[in-house]
Amino acid sequence: MEKLPIVSLRGVTKRFGDVVAVNALDIDIFQGEFLTLLGPSGCGKTTVLRLIAGFENLDEGEICMAGSRMNSIPPNKRNVNTVFQSYALFPHMTIFDNIAFGLRMKKYDKNNIDREVMEALDIVKLAGLEKRMPYQLSGGQQQRVAMARAIVNKPQVLLLDEPLSALDYRLRQEMEIELKRIHRQLGITFVFVTHDQEEAISMSDRIAVMNVGKIEQVGTPIEIYEEPQNMFVARFVGEINVFEGKVLRIDNGSAIVSIHGQSFEVQNRKNISEGQDVRVLLRPEDIIVFRDEAESITDPALAGRIENVIYKGKTVDLIITIDAGETIFVTQFFNEDQEDVVFREGQRVHINWPFGWEVVM
């Protein structure tokens, strides 16, 4: 994929009264990518979307699309379309008229409109429903109409404002796959806004994690999940366990960190130095649990006790209290070869992790 920024935001700031919703934000969005703005509610992600769409005027900075400055261009003259969280279908128009609205505004002739609308209905798999009224459709179908109404205009960028949040779990999963398919099929740039990190991770090419009007980190889902650059990203994206430690010494590419008196070898990717206080971050699924009754362990490990066992079907979640203090969250996958491995509440265990699976900051 040729890396051309199709939308670029430079120092974009938006205030609502005294509240700074978006604060000097920079980001490039590239041709054809699926970019997700991920963050808690109120972090300004929807405002960024509305700024790109043109519904809000920015206070500072600059928005460029395909090289031209868009700051004062009204929404009806921008080559972007939005799928709204509430779908917002026109209640007084048939499905056909809803989808045809944009094309009619562009003064397409009737034959072209018919063809394009039918094609869009095909893409969202709603062929045959064009004569219905919006109130006759289910929530999932209305969602698809909202998609069709936007993509029929072949925008440079499609903006999606939490489009799946109103759907139930099963429908949401189905639509995630549909959205990815439509994205691949059309090759349009998607900018997707969500507070759901699983949604973000499973769909995006890149994720921009936002917090209080700023971008904390931009990267692929793997980078965001495996190598969070700060505590906010680490905590917001998935569960994370944090251990406080002190660097004892540096060995080539690795460092020896003391946690509760035990010396652990960790990868030194961030140029940490001797004597520094560090935090060692571990995902629940990266932790290995040894049951004291079954296995003896010689490597450095932290002793603890299982507080809670939560059976999840394909995994089992353990809440373990480390003797020295922390309560940690561990996910274990069932192993077909070791069916006799049973975790019980109150069991004594030791935990550690494979070298290099940790994040140190």
**Residue 153 or 332: which CB sits closer to other proteins?**
153
Nearer to other proteins, 190 or 264 (CB): 190
The residue from 47, 142, 332, 352 that contacts other proteins (CB under 8 A) is 142
- Which residues 6+ apart lie within 8 Å of 144 measured at CB? 124, 125, 126, 178
Closest CB to other proteins among 83 and 316? 83
| Dist. CA 287–CA 274, nearest whole Å | 25
The answer to whether residues 361 and 231 touch, using CB atoms and an 8 Å cutoff, is yes
Query: Among residues 87, 232, 243, 343, which is the contact residue for other proteins, using CB under 8 A?
Result: 87
For residues 231 and 287, what is the distance between their CA atoms, to the nearest angstrom?
A: 19
Among 5, 14, 142, CA closest to 83 = 142
In angstroms, what is the minimal distance from the CB of 223 to other proteins?
A: 32
Q: How many residues bind other proteins (CB under 8 A)?
A: 33
Nearer to other proteins, 49 or 179 (CB): 49
332: its two tokens: 């274990």
Contact between 139 and other proteins by CB under 8 A: the answer reads: yes
Q: Kindly write out the interface string for residues 52-81 of this chain, putting x where it contacts other proteins by CB under 8 A and - elsewhere.
A: -xxx------------------xxxx--xx
Residue where the block lists tokens 């030791």: 350
SS3 3: coil
DSSP single-letter state for residue 57: -
With residue 116 as reference, give the H or E element that holds it: helix 110-123
Q: Between 94 and 133, how does the x/- string for binding to other proteins read (CB under 8 A)?
A: -------xx--xx--------------------------x
Which of 84, 108, 329, 353 is in the footprint of other proteins by CB under 8 A?
84
Contact status, residue 197 vs residue 240, Cβ threshold 8 Å: no
Build a one-symbol-per-residue string for 145-184: x at contacts with other proteins by CB under 8 A, - elsewhere: ----xx--x------------x------------------
What is the Cα 308 distance to its own chain's centre? Answer: 29
Question: What is the C-alpha to C-alpha distance for residues 291 and 268, in angstroms, rounded to an integer?
Answer: 29
User: What track of x and - describes contact with other proteins for positions 279 through 298 (by CB under 8 A)?
Assistant: --------------------
Beta partners for residue 250, in sequence order? 255
**Residue 213 engages other proteins in binding (rule: CB under 8 A):** no
Closest approach, Cβ 353 to other proteins, in A, equals 46
Q: 241 in helix, strand or coil?
A: strand
DSSP 350: E
Shortest distance, position 270 Cβ to other proteins, whole Å: 43
Binding site for other proteins (CB under 8 A): 53-55, 74-77, 80-82, 84, 86-92, 101-102, 105-106, 133-137, 139, 142, 149-150, 153, 166
